[in-house]
Structures are given as structure tokens and as C-alpha cells.
Amino acid sequence: MVCVLDQKKRPLMPCTPKRARLLLARGRAVVHRVQPFVIRLKDRRVEDSVLQPIALKIDPGSKTTGMALARVEATEEGEVHRALFLCEVQHRGQRVHDHKVTQANARRRRRSANLRHRAPRFDNRALPQGWLPPSILSRVGNVVTWTDRLIRWSPVTRLEVERVRFDTQLLQNPEIDGVQYQHGELAGWEVRAYLLIKYEYRCAYCGKTNLPFEIDHIQPRSRGGSNRVSNLALTCHACNQAKGSQTASEFGHPKVEARAKVPLKDAAAVNASRYKLVEALRVFGLPLGIWT
């Protein structure tokens, strides 16, 4: 699909790449944008054209968001949506998070280097209502930016967005039901006692016993690992120091990493941004359809 604009850069119905090449070859159009490819007609106005309703569909995700333009046709059996354009928006949420961590570390060093025992600033500031971290807002901003671009290049008449909601506990345990939602993995346990039983009083890496044990992150915190108990392992001091900032697999113990559950940070990111995204899309003033 090639987006088409009229003389005054207003969107017309898109055309096929073959038709766009013919219009350019005959001198009826000029290239308006290369990526994605948009042409502008020299001899056509939107008042003299017939436009069909087009819906912009959005499927939000943590790393990638899918977007599609579909022509809406009314039939006797109901509406039929014909896909015209498909694209994926790659998010940079993890890069934003890493940048903010580096920024915070640099600021923390400056404050402590210039004045010792200074009262912490981050700990006495109230967050405004509806605050979201920059990595989440980055995802929302990416979708809003591309929505604005597609509306400028094609005659979109309505928006449709999936307000995704993940049940994180159901993702871990497909058989969970009822009151089981209130009983987490550590119900009735302390973290250290739970790990001692789980690893049978042995180091998870070398298997030694009768040693002072330490708690290690299977996926290191410096590389996006969480403090969830499924990401913790029981280790001796020597293995903990030797492992450093490696993952368990990189340290030569893929079986330990296989016992850890799948991280849920992507599902959490989508859950956190779903209402913010819908709120941001209302700014365009188009009819907004929502489904879950």
C-alpha cells in the first residue's frame, strides 16, 4: 500500500505500488515521503475524491506493537474489514530504563561526592496521580506518534485498540482458581527457608553442603533481573563471587536457569500502560473502539 495526499497534503485513499509508479512516471504525483512511501498528487483535491471509511487497529505489546489500516466495507452480513497496511512498532522501553539507571547512578555519585550524609532527595517527593515510569511512557509515546502519522497520511475515520490485560498468576499456573490467587509461592515460608528446602541445603552451582549460603540472582539485577523468589538461587560465597554479573547459563549451569519461571516484566508493562494508551488516543477526537 502507498499512502496518497492531495494538493494541500490532505489524505486520500491509498493506492497500490503499481499505480503509484504510474502516477509518478506520468508526472501526476511527486514523492512526499520515502519511508513509509507517501506520494502527493498534483491534480487532485479531497473535495473531488471519494473516500471510504478506514479503521486504524492497534494491538499493544511490551516490545512490539502491531498496527493495521483496514478498509471497512458494509455488506448484508455486516461489516467486512479489508487489510490495507500492516506494520510493527519496535519499542525501546528497556533502553530507556537502562539510560535512566545510568543517569540515577551518576546523580547519586555527584550528590554523595560533593556532600556527605545529604538527605536523600528521591525519598521525600510525592508522585503525581497516574504517574508511570519513563520506560512505560516511551511505549505509549511510540504508539501515539505513529497513530498521528498514519492519520495524517490516510483518511482514518476511527480507532480500534485492544486494552490488553494479562493474568500474571494464570500465566504461571494454568490450573489456579478461586482462593488460590491469595496464596502466593511464599505462602507460609520465609525466603531463605524456602530456598534451603528448594535446593536441599546445597549450593545450586557446585552442590557443596555445610557452608554459609548466600542468595544469588539467577538473572542478575544489573541485567534486568527481578527479586522474585523464582529468580533467586542458594549459592556458596565462592560461586557467588565467581558468577558475578553472568546469568546462570553463562556461568555454565543452564539447568538452574531452566528452573526459574518465565519473567513477567513484559506482561506487567502492558498491564501498566493499557489505560494510559487509551487515554492518550482520545486526543485525536476520532471514534474509539476498545476490546480486551
DSSP state string for 217-267: ESS-GGGT----GGGEEEEEHHHHHHHTT--TTTTT-HHHHHHSPPP-HHH
Which residues are within 8 A (CB) of 20 and not within 5 positions of it... i.e. 6 or more apart? 2, 4, 29, 37, 39
* Contact assessment for residue 13 and residue 52, using Cβ atoms and an 8 Å cutoff: yes
Nearest to 264 by CA among 157, 173, 163: 173
Contact, 58 vs 161, CB < 8 A?
yes
- The answer to whether 136 and 272 have CB atoms below 8 angstroms apart is yes
Q: Please state the rounded mean pLDDT for residues 243-267.
A: 84
**Which are the contacts of 285, defined by CB distance < 8 A and separation ≥ 6?**
none
Q: Is the per-residue pLDDT at 174 higher than 80?
A: no
Q: Return the bridge partners of 162, or none.
A: 291
What residues does CATH 1.10.30 cover in the chain? 185-261
Query: Mean pLDDT across the stretch 174-184?
Result: 62
Q: Which CATH superfamily is domain 54-92+134-162+269-291 in?
A: Ribonuclease H-like superfamily/Ribonuclease H (3.30.420.10)
CB neighbour burial string for 79-96, b if at least 16 within 10 angstroms, e if fewer: eeeeebbeeebebebbeb
What does the alpha-carbon distance between residue 38 and residue 71 come to, in Å, rounded to a whole number? 18
Q: What percent of the chain has pLDDT over 70?
A: 91
Alpha-carbon distance of 15 to 87, in angstroms, equals 17
More confident residue, 260 or 95: 95
pLDDT band at 178 (very low <50, low <70, confident <90, very high): low
**CA atoms of 70 and 53, how far apart (whole Å):** 9
User: The whole model's pTM is what?
Assistant: 0.76
Range 185-261 classified under CATH 1.10.30: yes
Please state, rounded to an integer, the average pLDDT across all residues of the chain.
87
Residue 70 has pLDDT above 60, yes or no: yes
* pLDDT value at 171 more than 80: no
Smallest Cα–Cα separation from 281: which of 165, 142, 174, 173?
142
Burial (CB < 10 A; 0-12, 13-18, 19+), residue 164, is: middle
Structural element, H or E, at residue 214 = strand 213-217
Residue 144: in which H helix or E strand, if any?
A: helix 134-153
Q: Which pLDDT tens digit goes with each residue over 80-121?
A: 999 999 999 999 998 999 999 999 889 888 888 877 777 777
Q: Which of the four pLDDT bands, split at 50, 70 and 90, describes residue 229?
A: confident
Residue ranges matching CATH 3.30.420.10 in the chain: 54-92+134-162+269-291
Cell of 28: 501526476
Q: Do 274 and 164 contact (CB within 8 A), yes or no?
A: yes
Res 55: pLDDT:
95
Residue-level pLDDT at 17: 94
